[in-house]
Amino acid sequence: MSLRTRLIVCSVVAVLAVIPLGATEPPDPLLHKPAAAFVRNDLQKRRIDLAKYKGQVILLNFWATWCAPCQIEMPRFAQWQKTYAPRGLQILAVSMDDEPAPVLEYVKKHPLPFPVMMGDEDLGAKYGDVLGLPDTFLINRDGIIVAHFKGETRLESIEAELRKLLDIR
Amino acid sequence: MQVRKFFCLLAFFAFTVLTAHAQTAISATTIPTDRLVQPEELVKLLQSTSAQPLILQVGSRVMFGEAHIRGSQYAGPASTPAGLKALESSLTASPKDHLIVLYCGCCPWGRCPNVGPAFKHLQELGYKNVKVLYLPNNFGDDWVSKGYPTEHK
């Protein structure tokens, strides 16, 4: 085998060895599927039924008061709710704190312009087991999960997806 | 008198700031690297016939309820005084040299508020063989998604 041929073969083998490395991440089983229904009371005892928000774009955020990246996100979410509500955005926050007391204390200090509910194992399981925070889902106007942001995420990325769903150029 | 009052206030303020800083400064990144155990290593240990470690989840009770390492117990949240007491209570039957593995996985490693305080507390109590499971992203991505031994709700 000539040197040229050997080099070509080695290059092809090297490329084929590298390509699968980019494909090890399993597909998200929740994406492009209907968002799981739920009905919960929020901290102000208002009944929150996800189905009632069909026709709006939902940002469903799982968070907790002890989660540092969540603390960074909350003020931006509050700002987005105010800015994008006229275009049909509804943010729903689900706290994965073990008890409501610290959440009530948090919202007293940092009033939020969207419902905050207490989560639990059942609700977490409906959304693929929420096993790391923050965990954010974008649900389109037809009730389909179209984006899923797990862990600390660049807020600009979430906002860019949100603006697409809200049809804002 | 005014000067004395001023310095008293200053001292009180400094004490408050320093204490608060100390309480929030126990990051997961303070845990020495030789005390960390990688998920693959723990899986091998769980599958071996060696003496099994006591595995304690020291984070969120809700998340423990969703899924946890098979055979682990809940003993948290270690970011709170009540959680540290729960951690102590879970160890009353454990010899001080028994291998204990702590984990949380609530948040990205550097942001976890639980494993640092838990590790420090056990060291202070004289437990000599404590390791912490290194979960760089979260429990879901670094353990459950990899198919490692898990108990679900």
Reported confidence tier of residue B20, pLDDT bands at 50, 70, 90? very low
pLDDT band with cut points at 50, 70 and 90 for residue A8: low
Tell me what the mean pLDDT of segment B93-113 comes to. 93
Q: Which residues of A touch B139 (CB under 8 A)?
A: 131-132
Backbone angles phi, psi at B80, to 5 degrees: -120, 155
What pLDDT does residue B50 have? Answer: 82
Asked whether residue A143 carries a pLDDT value surpassing 80, the answer given is yes
- The pLDDT of residue B19 is 45
Closest B-chain CA to A133: B107
Dihedral sign, CA of A119, A122, A127, A133?
Answer: positive
Contact B153 A67 (CB under 8 A): no
Model-level pTM? Answer: 0.82
B23 falls in which pLDDT band (50, 70, 90)? very low
For chains A and B, count residue pairs whose Cβ atoms are closer than 8 Å: 82
Complex ipTM value = 0.78
A98, A148, A154, best to mutate vs chain B, most B CBs in 10 Å: A98
Could you report the per-residue pLDDT of B26-80, keeping only the tens digit for each? 889 889 999 999 999 999 999 998 889 999 999 999 999 999 999 999 999 999 9
- Provide the pLDDT confidence category of residue B7 given band limits of 50, 70 and 90: low
* Pairwise CB contact (< 8 Å): B111 & A152: yes
**What are the chain A neighbours of B109 within 8 Å (beta carbons)?**
none
Mean pLDDT value across chain B: 87
Q: Tell me, what's the pLDDT at B1?
A: 65
When scoring A131, A135, A150 by the number of chain B Cβ atoms within 10 A, the one with the most, hence best to mutate, is A131
Partner-chain contact B62 A133, CB within 8 Å: no
Does the CB of A87 have a partner CB in chain B at under 8 Å?
no
Do B115 and B134 meet the contact criterion of CB atoms below 8 Å apart?
Answer: no
E strand map for B53-141: 54-57, 67-69, 73-74, 100-103, 130-133
pLDDT in tens, A13-32: 555 555 544 445 678 889 99
Residue type, B6: F
A130–B contact, CB cutoff 8 A: yes
pLDDT in tens, A33-81: 999 999 999 999 999 999 999 999 999 999 999 999 999 999 999 999 9
Q: Mutation test of the interface with chain A: which of B106, B107, B142, choosing the one with the most A Cβ atoms within 10 A?
A: B107
pLDDT in tens, A95-138: 999 999 999 999 999 999 999 999 999 999 999 999 999 999 99
pLDDT at residue A4, as a whole number? 78
**How many other C-beta atoms are found inside a 10 Å radius of the C-beta of residue B126?**
8
Of the candidates B51, B96, B55, B97, the one whose C-alpha atom is nearest the C-alpha of residue B76 is B55
Query: Which residue has better confidence, B22 or B58?
Result: B58
